[in-house]
Amino acid sequence: MKDWLGRVLDARAGESPAALAGFALFLCLFAGYFMLRPIREAMGIAGGVENLQWLFTATFLVMLLAVPLFAWLNSRVARIRFVDWVYGFFALNLLAFAACFASLGDSVWLARTFYVWISVYNLFVVSVAWSLMADVFNGAQARRLFAFIAAGASVGGLLGPVLAAVLAPLIGEAGLALLAAALLLLALTLKAYLMGWRETRGAGRPGAPPTESPRRPVAGNPFSGLTRVLASPYLLAVSAFVILLATVSTFLYFEQARLVAELFPDRARQVQVFGLLDFVVQAGALVSQVLITGRLAQRLGVRVLLAGVPLLMCIGFLGLALLPTFAMLAGLMIVRRIGEYAFIRPGREMLFAPLDAETQYKAKNFIDTVVYRAGDAASGWAKSLLELLGHGAWLPALVGAGCAALWACLGFYLGRRADQAAQVNEAERR
């Protein structure tokens, strides 16, 4: 079984258990999130489709407040305990929302608050999880194993909507929030195993290149994530890549919300539509992650992971400009999300695996949260402005095609840099 699993994962001796633990950790996180995601989408519509840009702006402002606090915690708490504090905090938040769901019901302000909170929650818990993986595995291990580890997110994304559909009539929104909190705490036990494995077979193993001790806090101050990004052309390029990713995603998201609100006015029907889209996306991403992504990165390099999907999105936006229907939009959303989960996200995380702890935890967290949500907010207002011009769906689609073309060029540049660095490291090891 170990030999077969090792061949499937392209894992070396002793790496399969850690890869499975990483897989299971992401399964827990995404199962919890995707139980709540259809509720979030319906709550976003309940707050008014015309107000979505305000919700995106509120999410960005909350990020601006939250990131320095988490960076301050990262500078005070040993790296081996940082994830415990973050996930423990969010588990308490979920308990509070469970109480609110049980007592306040269909409050519009509760819907808006939950929408903003879960948008912050999702980025933080996932960003911290990938920081942990970049800390546990070295660069060579990341290129081989991150695709399989990311497949845990897809399995969780498949399991979450099923759990929501089966359990929601029995335990309601409050019960789903409690179950999500329990899965978050289960992820902490897997994190403890991974940090122990790191010292024997991972990035901190004997004979590996020296790394900073995880028993000390990460160096820097609450704003060192920002200063690191501003001082590094490479990290600025990664930030621009993330902004373009957010812009393309937001344009599609707003159009999806508008069409779903028009075609499916019933909230229960909206939850079903979003759940079905999530299921198709996660199934497609899972197949790609297990069978394609790792081998593609090994043979053709990270540049293919980071540039291929943006090129497809550019073509898709041009198709949407010519045929602005829900079927075309749904197909484009599915391709975009499968591509992000299966290729772009693992490729992005491979960029950080060889870097130092301050970059992995603080600069990366700043990019994954503040920069991403800044792109969301700015593109949300840009989409609203384009709609005010009154030219229909074709103008936003053409702008989206242009953004996707720039996104592809930047992805190719970053991927080529990562591939060249990996070749140099391989040559030095030989």
- Round to whole Å and give the CA distance between 210 and 26: 27
- Round to whole Å and give the CA distance between 166 and 178: 15
Total domains present in the chain? 1
pLDDT in tens, the chain (430 residues): 556 566 666 677 788 889 999 999 999 999 999 888 877 766 666 656 566 677 778 888 888 888 888 888 888 888 889 999 999 999 999 999 999 888 876 777 787 888 888 888 988 899 899 889 988 988 778 878 888 898 888 888 888 888 887 887 788 888 999 999 999 999 999 999 999 998 888 877 777 667 777 778 887 777 888 899 999 999 999 999 999 998 888 888 777 777 777 777 776 677 667 777 777 887 888 888 777 887 787 788 888 889 999 999 999 888 888 887 878 888 888 888 888 888 898 888 888 877 888 888 888 888 988 888 888 778 878 877 877 776 666 787 888 889 999 999 999 999 888 888 777 666 555 5
pLDDT value, residue 327: 82
CATH assignment of the domain containing 399: 1.20.1250.20
pLDDT value, residue 25: 96
Alpha-helical regions (H) of 340-371:
345-352, 357-358, 364-366
Question: Has residue 321 been placed in a domain?
Answer: yes
- Round to whole Å and give the CA distance between 337 and 307: 15
pLDDT value, residue 352: 85
Domain residues for 158? 8-429
Full-model pTM? 0.75
Residue 88 CB: number of other CB atoms within 10 A? Answer: 14
pLDDT value, residue 2: 59
Question: Has residue 3 been placed in a domain?
Answer: no
- Round to whole Å and give the CA distance between 403 and 421: 27
pLDDT value, residue 86: 93
Closest CA to 70 of 7, 33, 121, 118: 121
The region, left, alpha or beta by phi > 0 then psi within -120 to 50, assigned to residue 13 is: beta
Question: Has residue 2 been placed in a domain?
Answer: no
Report the alpha-carbon angle 343-345-350, nearest 5. Answer: 95
pLDDT value, residue 428: 54
**In sequence order, what are the residues at sequence separation of 6 or more whose Cβ sits closer than 8 angstroms to the Cβ of residue 171?**
178, 179
Question: Has residue 357 been placed in a domain?
Answer: yes
- Structure tokens belonging to residue 86: 């973050």
Closest CA to 301 of 400, 123, 389, 422: 422
Question: Has residue 1 been placed in a domain?
Answer: no
pLDDT value, residue 265: 72
Alpha-helical regions (H) of 290-393:
294-300, 302-322, 326-339, 345-352, 357-358, 364-366, 372-388
